[in-house]
Homo-oligomer: A and B are copies of this chain.
Amino acid sequence: MKKTYTIKDIAKLAEVSEGTVDRVLHKRGKVSQHFLSKVMAVLDEIEYEPNHIARSLKNTKTYQICVLMPNPQFDPYWMPCKDGIDEAIKKHKSFNIHVKVFLFDPTSIQDFIETNEKLLDSNPDAVLIAPFFYKESINIISNYHSKNIISCTFNNQLKTNEIINFVGQDLAQSGRVAARLMDILLKDGFVAIIHLDEDYDNAKHMQEKEAGFLDYFESSSNKKIKVKSFKFKSSNIENELNNLLNENIDLSGIFITTSKAYQVAKILSQKETNIRIIGYDLLEKNIEYLQNKTIDFLINQNPKQQAYSGLTFLIDYLIFGKDMPNLTLLPIDIINSENYHLQ
Contacts and interface: CB of A to CB of B under 8 A. Distances in A.
Interface of A: 1, 4, 49-54, 56-57, 93-96, 98, 170, 173-174, 176-177, 179-181, 184-185, 216, 296, 320, 329-339, 342-343
Nearest to A319: B53
Contacts of A332: 338-339, 342
Given A96-B4, A337-B180, A57 B53 contact: yes
Contacts of A180: 336-338
A94 B338 contact: no
Contacts of A54: 57
Given A1-B98, A94-B49, A334 B331 contact: no
**Number of this chain's copies in the complex:** 2
Contact of A336 (B57, B334, B339): B334
Contacts of A52: 94
A188 to B, nearest CB: 14
A133 to B, nearest CB: 27
Given A53-B56, A296-B184, A333 B336 contact: no
Contacts of A181: 336
A335 B297 CA distance: 13
Given A333-B334, A334-B339, 8 more contacts: A1-B98, A51-B57, A57-B57, A94-B320, A176-B338, A331-B333, A332-B339, A334-B335
**Listed residue (A57, A185, A216) with the most chain B CB atoms within 10 angstroms of its CB:** A57
A270 B195 CA distance: 41
Contacts of A338: 173, 176-177, 179-180, 216, 332
Contact of A342 (B173, B335, B336): B173
Nearest to A59: B53
A49 B342 contact: no
A331 B339 contact: yes
Contacts of A177: 336, 338-339
27 contacts: A1-B98, A4-B96, A50-B94, A51-B94, A53-B95, A54-B57, A94-B320, A170-B342, A173-B338, A173-B342, A174-B339, A179-B338, A180-B336, A180-B337, A181-B336, A184-B296, A216-B338, A330-B342, A331-B333, A331-B343, A332-B339, A332-B342, A333-B333, A333-B334, A334-B335, A334-B336, A334-B339
Nearest to A212: B338
**Complex A-B, nearest 5 residue pairs according to Cβ-Cβ distance, in ascending order:** A334-B334, A177-B338, A176-B338, A332-B339, A180-B338
A327 to B, nearest CB: 12
Contacts of A337: 180
A73 B54 CA distance: 41
Contacts of A179: 338
Nearest to A276: B184
A176 B53 CA distance: 45
A94 B49 CA distance: 7
Q: Which of A1, A57, A339 has the most CB of B within 10 A?
A: A339
Contacts of A95: 53
